[in-house]
Structure 1
């Protein structure tokens, strides 16, 4: 008894080039959707998680889910700056930034539709605490002045925020004096200015958050214990990376649920198409199957040959779909951050894990679509097949 060689399955796919191409195209579409959704989720998480630093701590009001809902009084901010766990600058001051975050509506380029944009007021150390930020045009805003700098994602997509222009907010005109790049993090979707000036303009009496750098990453638990013992500090301390990772949860869940739903719906159609293609292959090669069995090839060999044919077909479609999806890495899209309700720009991201998951998903579709036709081919009797 002999096994049917794998080259037999590959040659049969080439012989039926039209049906192979159509079925593979259907699978490629499903794989593209699956991979694109997974890449979107990975890009979103990278954008938000990479926004934070493991040495930085974000402090917000206890019970708040975001800076927009938070309030840290001036007294509480002063107590936080006095914590011994904080890193110190060369001059001996605490490496901390008292910040305020507000939303304004801006019109996108080429559209009259307004979208929420986050405005972040930072302290003197705000830039130093985010080493991934760098000015790419203009200069830094001056403390005490009505000046702002804009993130690269905002500068390229919104009206009136170009270098030298002015933005109307809080009843004042703010001069745009610089543009910064934040390395594809969430800060790219923000406008920055002086915290004290923004608080005056928007009539805020408390900061939204305080961000500080730890003297050592291991001091985080000590800082939590110290603030927990002080009844004046009804605040939550989170590592900055964890804080922004939590920000991505709601949007990530929505993207995954939508993607899984679409992938399941489309995959049903792709599996049905693969099943029809393989049943057609069995029907047109009945005599050929009988000849193989008469020559001594086992039923299991015939089953594996047709199953391998379906898997090769799925792998072909999966490879094409993944290749097209990989081009999405150069596409930047915007959405609304469910925690802040502000504009958030991010890019698709393809990882080795996503590529592996995508190929496994395509092979699974091929297996499900090809199994029953393969069983049908294996169960054909020699006499019955040759007679047909």
Structure 2
């Protein structure tokens, strides 16, 4: 009789005990898979949302002068002509080594325009990219611009001049329609008029020119500092700055979820190991007579160990497969509850392979001591139990 046939036969005879052991593995593996699947889905969701919290890389023309502005207060100084970027060169940003980590590239052109004999900051943007980057922009009514002759007014500009949505305003001799007015943001856009990039370039006489670029770049483990150097190499006349605080906050948010999942997973693994150990010890104690007969008819210690470990191997594979399937099913059902508008990240086949290997390793390690004890059982003592 072959050893694996003995192992299979024992599993069939002791279905209740083996089912209890498999159940312990399924609970442990499914809990781990559920936590990891939820963490993976939350990570993707957090990345998608944090990427829209604003730029974490700023590219501006290099200058030898220091800023004389702090907290919105300008103390004056000598104004120098600043060399602006060529718009056609922006495509070079996407040729850096880590270009896949770039999510949003938002160019801007800046300059003053005349509104009722007052100078006002005009900001030209690509609305699709800018609105994706500035998720805190909320309109007080109307709609965001869809045409080049439509503009957005900052809250302070609208208050100062008394403009309302739908009004037509004159910007340095050119008419524009107020598409919407932004709610106060506490940032520079409160004091600006925001137009499409092409319209602003024409109005300012800066066709093909870019004043600055805001870049949103984030992913797990992205080398932000290295990316700034890569961009600086492409633009030697630019000052490229990484907002490291924003990146660190994003990293810490995701790491907290992973640390929590890791801690719970370790506890579950320990509980699962104890459950397997107790179950296998009980199985060995119940099979004292059977093991004694095996030893009496010539089975070596290694043979007895192989029989028990083969059982543990088979049960580990079954427990791993069932645990992986149930864990994904639970995660799929829980994620919409845990994360608002959250979507299940999908079945991770690599995690499935790891789950099966983990279940097998867990089952084998917990069965080593019972197998060793069974293999060292004295045949004469076992037979006296008959």
Settle same-fold status: TM greater than 0.5. Answer: yes
SS at match of 2:242: strand
Q: Aligned in 2, Cα 1:267/1:364: closer, same or farther, shift over 3 Å? A: same
Per the normalisation by structure 2, the TM-score is 0.56
Aligned to 2:6: 8
Q: Aligned in 2, Cα 1:326/1:31: closer, same or farther, shift over 3 Å? A: same
Q: Aligned in 2, Cα 1:203/1:47: closer, same or farther, shift over 3 Å? A: closer
Structure 1 position 311, deviation (Å): 2.6
TM-align CA RMSD: 4.8
Aligned match for 1:362, one of 359, 364, 377: 359
Instruction: Tell me how many residue pairs correspond in the alignment.
Output: 273
SS at match of 2:89: coil
Q: Aligned in 2, Cα 1:331/1:269: closer, same or farther, shift over 3 Å? A: closer
Aligned match for 1:235, one of 227, 230, 241: 241
- Equivalent pair of 1:299/1:379 in contact (CA under 8 Å): yes
Structure 1 position 33, deviation (Å): 1.5
Aligned to 1:124: 127
- Equivalent pair of 1:45/1:248 in contact (CA under 8 Å): no
How do residues 294-333 of structure 1 correspond to structure 2 at under 5 angstroms?
294-327=296-329, 328-329=331-332, 332-333=335-336
SS at match of 2:12: helix
How do residues 17-166 of structure 1 correspond to structure 2 at under 5 angstroms?
17-47=15-45, 59-60=57-58, 82=86, 85-87=89-91, 97=106, 123-126=126-129, 141-143=144-146, 144=150
**Alpha-carbon separation, structure 2, partners of 1:322 and 1:268:** 18
- Equivalent pair of 1:48/1:244 in contact (CA under 8 Å): no
**Alpha-carbon separation, structure 1, partners of 2:241 and 2:181:** 23
Answer yes or no: is 1:224 the counterpart of 2:221. no
Structure 1 position 84, deviation (Å): 5.1
- Equivalent pair of 1:334/1:346 in contact (CA under 8 Å): no
Per the normalisation by structure 1, the TM-score is 0.56
SS at match of 2:129: coil
| More deviation, 78-87/294-303 | 78-87
Structure 1 position 50, deviation (Å): 7.5
Query: Could you list the runs of 5+ residues in structure 1 that have no partner in the other structure?
Result: 63-70, 89-94, 100-121, 131-139, 147-172, 175-195, 214-218, 337-342
Structure 1 position 32, deviation (Å): 1.1
Q: Aligned in 2, Cα 1:87/1:315: closer, same or farther, shift over 3 Å? A: same
Query: Could you list the runs of 5+ residues in structure 2 that have no partner in the other structure?
Result: 61-70, 72-78, 93-103, 109-124, 134-142, 153-163, 166-178, 191-211, 218-226
**Alpha-carbon separation, structure 1, partners of 2:19 and 2:216:** 57
SS at match of 1:235: strand
Larger radius of gyration: 2
Aligned to 1:91: none
**Alpha-carbon separation, structure 1, partners of 2:84 and 2:19:** 64
- Equivalent pair of 2:35/2:261 in contact (CA under 8 Å): yes
- Equivalent pair of 1:332/1:347 in contact (CA under 8 Å): yes
